[in-house]
Structure 1
């Protein structure tokens, strides 16, 4: 598990980068810094794409936010230049699988998939740079020492029995007003039933007969018969029937609200709120979803927070059995309700870097001892935040994706990427690591305001 540094390329190469995303600019700038020629296109027409591919480039990187457009450009590149190596970033797994089927030679990846192990590592243990699963060796943790990154086996700290006990304790835990009404109504009805049944059994009635009379009381039709002179029971049964009317109304209101709502959290089953040892993931976009899936894969309970209950990823989380609370991750009441103080970590992985900073500040205000992992990469202010507010582990998702894409363009073997502080490392198939420096996206001169949107070239200098 040694660490190596990338050597200088033996010859300059030519690459085509498609897209105006921060990832595309980062790949372009880093390629230019390595003295390679880059043809950078924003949204090329067919004629522009043919012109860029006329000289048979060594590699093509399609780095867009639109998965369908990425699929179209990949097919067009494969048709125009069949020998070109293609690397495409696609978020939707259905589109990615279809692209792999149509173009087996195409390297299809996703920034969310690349960043998930690097985000999951510090969520599980602040000492981890990443946690990933290997089919032959099981779960492996990457830690960074003085000599560089090293991999080793990792086992979850809580035993399976403790996780099951914690999951059982989370059953029937209300998480909002409607659920609270449902639970209060249900427990009230059950309490009336049990109390009436206990009274009758204690006064000599057969358990089956007592259950029959107690059920009639809960149904508000009264007992079938009442013992002569049992005025105390008659008063108690009358009060129980009146209380049941109230509890039934509460229960019905709760049921209706759950039926009309998105039902992202369950009362029973796998989507109940965890009580301790969990990770709170704020921002259930593509990165948040992949992070939740990665943590669940390692046996760590998770709960998501999403402002839009009708988001496509929120519905996907429901199908995967991941509980998602509707609300703002920077809301103190939400964090307290999710038991942030008992959580293993909080991950702020929304698409807005400044939003993630706000969530981290709120989390430190609620539970200063809980580790925080912050997604970054799309806003320049995050660089200042690293030095001024060292409140958590920062992961540059754009930088991780750019490192992998650049490695694929340069034919460097890489099975993943990890980050430690301000450094990025390629993880090679033989479990070694290569330090992989990148330049800032501002060094890409092609898509600055006022520049043409067609083909622009660079070869080591702007």
Structure 2
């Protein structure tokens, strides 16, 4: 376990082992939480279950279902399994004299028995699919506002739904601890202003320091932005140390040269056509001007005026004596100018009718060396692109969907975006992958990220590759065949941060990864080893077309782990 850091702001010692996460506030297991959301919410729910807590997991509940879940003492919904187990015992609980780890929590009835033994009230949870609170802690005795036995609520949906449910939860159960994921920082600030007891974060904010560090230097654990600049975290002699960070000079110079080489080197066909036509017009203009200045000894300004007449197909102002060669040149130049004008106009019209997210000059021009290719322009991809630009590193975003909602935002932020399929090796070669610093595959589909990594390794075998992926079986199978890259589980990182936020009196500073282990940096600077989140075993209700219904999910039997 890493000891306390030696810098002026130490991160603290890592304590604990593996299993269920320890609660930062020292409260025992057996509390009641409400979790709303999809895949990441399932991991949060599974982590809470593993710690011995009772969880009501909802997908997109109606107002009635949400009110029932936040109001203990109601009637369990139809289809709920009163005898469903609520999770294994907490491995972090102190062993009793008989050698057992924590309370013997094996089912709803056992949770109730443990709660009665501890003197905690037991109530039925309507709408939760669990008929026992599992010994909810007495919040009044803890000196916190009465939240009706609800220890905390986590909402992990998109911005609009998260905002709507957060306001509804605060209305139904005021002052309850709320952890909400919202990407838009303006919306997040307004929500915190209206609901002070709400902690707002987003998966992009949680994982960006880890992905950014992996793209820049192999030895970095985290690279985050602070008020005074960037701070890097790395392991040194068994200690985690934070130091101010600036990208190495060689990397900055290489990235700057790559951006300069990318100017006036368009990627799309319409820009190439437009530049070809413009180059032809300029060539004719300069040729005519040079003929008049050097052969006819005309003043430069007058020569430029007459050359412009030729390019505009008006013709020379007047014949210059019996200079037949110049007359022939003027005729040919005007005919060629008509063709170049048509080419230039076609490219310009096409570019104006379909604005390209890639620029010809300026910050949105594609860099040609020392850049990072980011595949997937979701929340994580966009945040990673802006963080890389803040470091002075060139970036190219690749998005397959031409209607992706973040395309317009990326254009406003000056991020060059190529709309193409990154699994195509020709596309990767066009992006200068063999001269890039790294490739980050951060799309929402794990298998797509793996396919992109395979194609990237075929184009540039020595390229540093960072992959966003979960616990899909294909990850381990592909890694057993060849070096696939550095894999980070976005769902696991987000679930660890959300769960720690539900536990602690203060939100954690972040989540780190060391040798595949998750470490949660607590508010006081302590590093807590955190278990890999397992998805909960709730059986999700589905509609006739197989989609999740806008309501609750109810717990089914937890399979015995092998």
TM-score for the superposition, normalised by structure 2: 0.76
Cα deviation for residue 69 of structure 1 reads 2.4
Cα deviation for residue 431 of structure 1 reads 5.1
Contact preservation (8 Å) 2:373, 2:398: yes
Matched with 1:400 is 493
Task: Give the helix-richer structure, 1 or 2.
Answer: 1
Q: Give a deviation string over 1:215-271, Cα, whole Å, max 9, x none.
A: 111111221123223222222222222221111111111101100113201111211
Q: Which moved more, 1:151-160 or 1:324-333?
A: 151-160
Distance in structure 1 (CA, Å) of the matches to 2:249 and 2:312: 45
Q: What runs of 5+ residues in structure 2 fail to find an aligned partner?
A: 6-11, 17-21, 73-147, 543-547
Cα deviation for residue 165 of structure 1 reads 4.6
The aligned runs of 1:33-182 (5 Å cut-off) are 33-53=50-70, 54=72, 55-64=148-157, 66-136=158-228, 138-144=229-235, 147=238, 149-158=240-249, 163-182=255-274
Matched with 2:33 is 16
Q: Which has the higher contact order (CA 8 A, sep 6+)?
A: 1
Distance in structure 2 (CA, Å) of the matches to 1:134 and 1:432: 19
Distance in structure 1 (CA, Å) of the matches to 2:237 and 2:483: 21
Q: Give a deviation string over 1:7-31, Cα, whole Å, max 9, x none.
A: 5754124232333411111111111
Matched with 1:318 is 411
Distance in structure 2 (CA, Å) of the matches to 1:179 and 1:313: 22
Q: Which moved more, 1:258-267 or 1:219-228?
A: 219-228
The aligned runs of 1:258-273 (5 Å cut-off) are 258-273=351-366
Distance in structure 2 (CA, Å) of the matches to 1:144 and 1:396: 21
Matched with 2:470 is 377
Aligned residues: 458
Distance in structure 1 (CA, Å) of the matches to 2:508 and 2:479: 28
The 1:71/1:380 distance shift into structure 2, 3 A limit, reads farther
Instruction: Tell me how large the CA RMSD over aligned residues is.
Output: 2.6
Greater Rg over alpha carbons, structure: 2
The 1:361/1:155 distance shift into structure 2, 3 A limit, reads same
The 1:456/1:145 distance shift into structure 2, 3 A limit, reads farther
Q: Which moved more, 1:195-204 or 1:86-95?
A: 86-95
Q: Which moved more, 1:231-240 or 1:270-279?
A: 231-240
The 1:246/1:430 distance shift into structure 2, 3 A limit, reads farther
TM-score for the superposition, normalised by structure 1: 0.91
Q: Which moved more, 1:178-187 or 1:224-233?
A: 224-233
Distance in structure 2 (CA, Å) of the matches to 1:239 and 1:59: 80
Task: Identify which of 183, 190, 194 aligns with 2:282.
Answer: 190
Contact preservation (8 Å) 2:468, 2:490: yes
Q: Tell me, yes or no, if structure 1 residue 420 matches structure 2 residue 514.
A: yes
Matched with 2:125 is none
Aligned residue for 1:142, secondary structure, equals: strand
Contact preservation (8 Å) 1:42, 1:447: no
Q: Tell me, yes or no, if structure 1 residue 26 matches structure 2 residue 36.
A: no
